[in-house]
Amino acid sequence: MTRKEYLKDTKRLVIKVGTSTLTFENGLLNLSRIDKLVRELANLQNKGYEIVLVTSGALGAGMGSLGLKERPKTLPDKQAIASVGQVALIHLYQKLFSEYGKQIGQLLLTMGDISNRRRYLNARNSCLKLISMGIIPIINENDSVAVGDIKVGDNDTLSAFVSILVDTDLLLILSDIDGLYTGNPKNDPEATLINTVPKINDHIKSISTGAGSSLGTGGMATKISAGEIVTSAGIPMIIAKGFDPSIIGDIMDGEDLGTLFLETKGKLNPRKHWITYGTTKTGTLFINDGAITALRDHNSLLSIGIIDCEGDFHKGEVVSICDEDRNEVAVGICNYSQVEVDLIKGHNSSDIIDILGHKDYDEVVHMDNMFIF
C-alpha cells in the first residue's frame, strides 16, 4: 500500500511542533517559520481536515517579550518566563490565524489533567467541542505550574496523550531531523532513513537514543516513546523534518516523507490504555511467582500473592505490579490503600474481613482494571 492510499481516509490531525522548529538557535521565536506553519495549517483546514496543534515555544516567546538573550537556568525563572511566554505565544498564534480567517482556542495541560480521569474527560470534551465548532485547539504543557509528578516533561509525550484524547487519525511530529535513521546520522555516514516502522520493538528503541537540538526537551527516544503510546491505541504516527512547514501538506498529499509508524493491530481498549500510559503510578506491589502465573492466565491479583508494597497510595489509584527483582509485570487500579495492603499481604481473601474489619473486594487488583506487559 502506498503512503497516499494509507492516509486517504485521514481527517483529524494532531500536529506537534517542537522548540527547534519554532525558534532560532538563540532560543527566540522564528516568526517567518511560524507564519508559514499557520498558513499551512489554515490551508489544511480549508481542505477539510480537522486540526489540533501541540506547540512548544512558550519559553522562547517569553524571552523575546522580556528582551532576554540567554535561556533561564533555574526552575522559578523558567516558570515565570514561560508564564509570560504563554500569553505572547497564543497572542501571536491568534494574530496569524485570524489573518487566514481561523479561530483558535488554548488549552494548557499537565500530567495531573491526564492522570485524573474526570479532568481527562473534561479536557477531551472541551477539545472535541472546539473541533466540532471549526476552532483549532492549540495545546501546550502548563510550564508555569507543572513540576514533579504533574509534569509531562516533553511535548512529544504530550502530543501522544492529546492524540488519544481527541481520537485523532494521525499524529505528525515535526522535528529537526528527517525521521528515524538506522543509526545516528550525525556520526554515522552509513545511516539511512527508515521509511516505515511496522512495530516499535527493542531494536527500534535501541537505535533511537540521542537527543536532537539542544533547545528542546525531547530527542528521538521521546518520540519513539510517544509512538509507542499512540500506536498501541491504534493511531499511526509520522516523524518528519519541520524546518519547511510546507512538508505537512506534502505528507498529506501522499509524498513518502519522514518515518511512518504503523498502528498496532491488537490495540488496547481505551480504559486499559489510560491505566497503562496515562496515569501516574503512586505505589508498587511486589508479587510472588504464583501470582505472576495467575496474572498471565488472566486472573486477578489476590492478597495471598503479594509479598510487599511501597509508596503512599490510596484506594482507586494506579500502582505498578512487580516481581521480586523489581521488574514491572503489570499496572492496575488498586482496590485497597497501601496501609490496607500492608496488612492483608500474604493472606487469603477470606481473611481480609477479619484483618481489616471490612472487605470491599476479594481482589486487590481486578483483571478488568489491569494491563499485563
- Decide if 321 contacts 308 (C-beta within 8 A): no
CATH number belonging to domain 3-272: 3.40.1160.10
| Cα–Cα distance measured from residue 29 to residue 301, given in angstroms and rounded to the nearest whole number | 51
DSSP assigned state of 324: T
- The pTM for the full model equals 0.80
* Sequence-ordered strand ranges (E) for the chain: 12-17, 50-55, 104-109, 136-141, 170-175, 196-197, 237-241, 259-261, 283-287, 306-311, 318-322, 328-333, 370-372
| Cα–Cα distance measured from residue 50 to residue 272, given in angstroms and rounded to the nearest whole number | 27
Neighbours of 146 (CB within 10 A): 20
DSSP assignment of 134-190: T-EEEEEE-TTT--GGG---SHHHHHHHHHHHTT-SEEEEEESSSS-BSS-TTT-TT
Show the CA angle centred on residue 331, arms to residues 209 and 210, nearest 5°.
5
pLDDT in tens, the chain (373 residues): 889 899 999 999 999 998 888 888 777 788 999 999 999 999 999 999 999 999 988 888 888 888 888 888 888 888 888 889 899 899 999 999 999 999 999 999 988 888 887 888 899 999 999 999 999 999 998 876 655 444 566 789 899 999 999 999 999 999 888 999 988 777 778 889 999 999 998 888 888 764 444 334 457 888 998 999 999 889 999 999 999 999 999 999 999 999 999 998 766 777 778 888 877 888 999 999 999 999 999 999 999 999 999 999 999 889 999 999 999 999 999 999 999 999 999 999 999 999 999 998 999 999 989 988 8
**Start-end of CATH 2.30.130.10 domains in the chain:** 281-372
CA 236 to chain centre: 13
pLDDT digits (tens, 9 = 90+) for 269-318: 777 788 888 778 889 999 999 999 999 999 999 999 999 999 999 998 89
Relative to beta strand 259-261, strand 237-241 is antiparallel
Cell numbers 500492608 correspond to 342
What 3-state DSSP class applies to 328?
strand
CATH of range 281-372; options 2.40.10.220, 2.60.120.10, 2.30.130.10, 3.40.228.10: 2.30.130.10
**Start-end of CATH 3.40.1160.10 domains in the chain:** 3-272
pLDDT digits (tens, 9 = 90+) for 173-198: 998 889 999 887 777 788 899 999 99
| Cα–Cα distance measured from residue 151 to residue 7, given in angstroms and rounded to the nearest whole number | 33
* pLDDT value at residue 209: 66
For the chain, give percent helix, strand, coil, nearest 5: 40, 20, 40
* pLDDT value at residue 91: 93
Largest CA distance in the chain: 70
Torsion angle of C-alpha atoms 247, 248, 253, 257, degrees rounded to 10: 50
* pLDDT value at residue 213: 41
Nearby residues of 99 by Cβ (< 8 Å), 6 or more positions away: 38
